[in-house]
Each structure stands twice: as structure tokens, then as C-alpha cells.
Structure 1
Amino acid sequence: MRVDASRALGGYAAVMTLATAWLLLGANTGSKVAAFETIDVERINVREPDGTLRMTVASRSRMPGIIVAGRETPHPDRPQAGMLFYNDEGTENGGLVFSGALKDGKPTNLGALSFDRWRQDQTLALSSTEDGKDRQVGLAINDRPDQPVDFPAVAQLVQEPPSGTRDAAVRAAGAAVTPRAFLGRALDKSSILTMRDATGRKRLEVRVTADGKAAIDFLDAEGRVSRSITGS
């Protein structure tokens, strides 16, 4: 039997068209849930239906820069892997980062969970850091300026050599921090609670040293201890 090539080709095209239409319609009306046992990736972006970025999970080499309202600026210093959070407008507002290795024969390690003020930097951070024998673990609370950070300007300024002029320009661009409180393990192995006023001056410190000596210090505006309560 002879086969009409043109009819065969036409029939094939019709079948493929119907199959493609079925797949497309099925994809739009059926379940979009997929199950995997293992996924190896360098980066995952979680987005809203309108495309707004809400979370990124990435390796160190694929971590994004600073994203504000969907616009990205290179980060001056973020050599960690981790997870970044973004608010409803697609602006970074926190994250979980981690790193660590044996460097020059000594262990280094970092783990930090932090949350930012709107279009600003960290106001709450839970962190653990290690650099050889120096270790610090704790919860830090910071104040940040009311103005948003001008991240592109800061990214340029930090490339300049350190100077008073540069530091003043960085602060003018909104990249300033005022420590308010810290609770944790200090570098000298003591357990401390430090509280500061709105200008960052230390006003109260509760401390238990590594050898068990306890004290509560009240400080004046010049940083001098005005009263101290010690354990018996």
C-alpha cells in the first residue's frame, strides 16, 4: 500500500498540535505540585504571582547583592551562603547567613539570623562568631536612622580608603548604627547584659565572669561607674 507523504505529515502535525494543546491545558488546570527526593541547586528564588521576590536561598557564589524595591546593588561584603528575606515591596529585610572554615590553622565560624528596619540595616541579630580562640555569641539590638540607606552611594564609598571624611559620608548616606542592648557570651568568656541609651552610651551592665564573679554596674553619661552591686 502506498502512503501519501503529504497526508501523513498533515496527520502527524494534527496529532502533535492536539497533544501540545492537551499538555498546556492540563498544566493550567491540573496540580502544579511536584515532589523530589533530592534537588541540587546553587540558588532558589521564591516569588509572589506578580513576580515580587520574597525569599532567596543561595550558595556563597550566588548570593544576590542588596535588593531594594526590586533593584539590586552589589553588596560590599557578604561572603556567606544562606537565606535572605524580602518584604512586600521586594526589599531585603533580614536573613540567615553562615560560613566557616579552617584558616591559617585556626577555626573560623559564623552563623547569624537578623532582621532589618525598612530600607535600612540590622536592628535585631542573633549570632555566633568564632575566630581562633575568640568566640562571641549573643543577641544584639540596634537603632538605625529614620532615613533609608542610600545603598548605591555606600557601595561606592566603602571602596575608598578609610578616613574621617569617608566615614562621615557613609553616615550621611544613612549607614549608621547605634547599639542599644546585647545579651550573650563576651570575648573574655563572661556572660553579660549591656544596655545603652539612645546615643549608644553604656548605662547598665550585668556581668558574670568566667570564674563566677557577678556584678551590676550603673554608668553615668561619661561612661564612669556611678554605682556597683557585687555578689557576696
Structure 2
Amino acid sequence: MRIDPSRAIGGYAAVMTLAAAWLALAAVAPAATKFDTIDVQRINVREPDGTLRLAIANHALIPGIIIGGKEYPHPNRTEAGMIFYNDQGDENGGLVFDGGMKNGKPTNGGSLTFDRWHQDQTLQLVSTEDGRDRRAGLVVNDRPDAPMDIAAGLQMRAMKPGPERDALIAKAGLTSARRAWLGRSEDGSVALILSDPAGRPRLTLGVGNDGVPSVELRDAAGKVTRTVR
């Protein structure tokens, strides 16, 4: 068999070109690292441009409230868990949990929440336990259209309850109206409670801890106008 020198050189060049291209791609592509166990206190998941999208942390290092590129101290976040962030790096929900023996009684808590843009949670799946008091359910909230003024809200925590504080809370966009609750309350009853835009319960469909079902309709003042048992 006679080998054509020009074809042999061409084939060799093609093979070397493909090999060089493969090596170049392998050098650029990020290498996947595998671990059996990782012990950490916090993991930040970011986009290629550095935008924070997810934080997984223990209670000591869990983030505060991050809105508009600034982190504010959270007034009552002491749990461990995961905090979710939107495309802009603003907090928009989370999954947190805590629990243990406190003051000689078992406690437990878990919460999965979804927030409005630059606002607090509008949907929450929650379960809490404090000794014999247990509560679990689904909550739907209304939040203001205006973004929260978090700095103003933190300053108001030192104020005494009253009309002046309530007015400042409303101005800062920190009000909330619970529109729906479906779940078990601390008294052992289970119910679907539907409320008006002001958060006043108007219709309750429930079963008490005695097993008796009932339907209650209330007016805007909270007075029961009709009961079916």
C-alpha cells in the first residue's frame, strides 16, 4: 500500500488541531469537584456576576434583610436555614427552622415563606411547637404596594405602642393583613378563616377540639351574624 505524503501530513494536522481544541476547552470549562461530606457554617450561591441568589447558613451566620444592595439586621431571625434572593439580589423568601428543649419543654419551628418585591411574606407554610401548644398551617397575607422602609421600621421598635407608632408603621409600608388561614391552632381546633382587606375575620369554617363542626359569619365589627352547627 502506497501512502500519499500530502494526505498523511493533512490528516496529522487535523488530528493535532482537534486535540488542541479539546485541551483548550478542558482548560476553560470549570472542573466539577465532588465531596462526600462538607462541614460549613454558611454557603453563598451566586450568579457569574456575583449577585447573591441563595444563602444556606446556621443561625449564627444567617443573613439579615438584604434589599437594594444593603443588609439590615433582622429583628427576630434567629433560626438556621436558607434565604432566597431574586434576580437583583433582594430577599424574596426563605426556609428556616429551629427547636430543642427550652425551659424544660420541647420547642420546634419551621417556616417556608414567599415575599412580595421589596416587601415581607405574602405566603407562608408554618409549623410551631411550644410545649403542649402546637400550630401548623398555611397563611396568606396582603402587603402594601409600596416597598418597605426597613431602616425606619428598625427605629420604631423602640417606640411605645400607640397611634403615633401605628401611623409611622403604615407610612413605612410595614403593615400586614392576614387574608386567609388554613390549619390547626393552639387550642386544638382546625379551621379555614377568610378575612376582609383589613384583616378582619368574616367567615370561619372549622372543627373544634371537641370534634364539633361549625360555620360562622361575622360583620366588620367582629360580631357573629350567623352560626351553623
The interval holding the TM-score normalised by the smaller chain is 0.7 to 0.9
Which residue does the alignment assign to 2:50? 51
For 1:129, give the aligned amino acid.
T
Which residue does the alignment assign to 1:79? 78
Which residue does the alignment assign to 2:112? 113
For 2:67, give the aligned amino acid.
V
1:165-221 deviations in whole A, cap 9, x for unaligned?
A: 334322321111101000000111011100001111111001101221000111112
C-alpha distance in 2, partners of 1:31/1:66? 32
SS in 2 for 1:168: helix
SS in 2 for 1:62: coil
Contact in 2 for aligned 1:52/1:70 (Cα 8 Å): no
Which residue does the alignment assign to 1:163? 161
1:93 equivalent in alignment to 2:87:
no
Which residue does the alignment assign to 2:6? none
State the TM-score, normalized to the length of structure 2. 0.85
Q: Any stretches of 5+ residues in structure 1 without a counterpart?
A: 1-24
Work out the number of aligned pairs and report it. Answer: 205
Which residue does the alignment assign to 1:8? none
Q: How far off is 1:26 after superposition?
A: 8.2
C-alpha distance in 1, partners of 2:218/2:119? 30
Query: Which shifted more, 56-65 or 171-180?
Result: 171-180
For 1:83, give the aligned amino acid.
M
Which residue does the alignment assign to 2:38? 39
For 1:227, give the aligned amino acid.
R
Q: How far off is 1:55 after superposition?
A: 0.5
Which residue does the alignment assign to 2:14? none
SS in 1 for 2:187: coil
C-alpha distance in 1, partners of 2:37/2:90? 30
Q: How far off is 1:161 after superposition?
A: 4.0
C-alpha distance in 2, partners of 1:162/1:203? 30
SS in 1 for 2:113: strand
Runs of 4+ more than 3 Å apart: 25-28
Q: Any stretches of 5+ residues in structure 2 without a counterpart?
A: 1-23
Q: How big is the alpha-carbon RMSD for the aligned residues of Structure 1 and Structure 2?
A: 1.5
C-alpha distance in 2, partners of 1:173/1:39? 42
Q: Write the mapping of 1:1-232 to structure 2, written as runs, cut at 5 A.
A: 28-158=27-157, 160-164=158-162, 165-230=164-229
For 2:188, give the aligned amino acid.
K
C-alpha distance in 1, partners of 2:31/2:130? 46
1:70-96 deviations in whole A, cap 9, x for unaligned?
A: 221111110100000001111000000
**C-alpha spacing 1:38/1:197, structure 2 compared with 1 (3 Å):** same
For 2:191, give the aligned amino acid.
I
For 1:177, give the aligned amino acid.
S
Contact in 2 for aligned 1:178/1:199 (Cα 8 Å): yes
Q: How far off is 1:156 after superposition?
A: 2.2
Query: Which shifted more, 184-193 or 165-174?
Result: 165-174
1:55-75 deviations in whole A, cap 9, x for unaligned?
A: 000000001110013221111
Percent identity between the two aligned chains: 53
SS in 1 for 2:60: helix
C-alpha distance in 2, partners of 1:166/1:222? 23
SS in 1 for 2:137: strand
SS in 2 for 1:61: coil
C-alpha distance in 2, partners of 1:38/1:52? 26
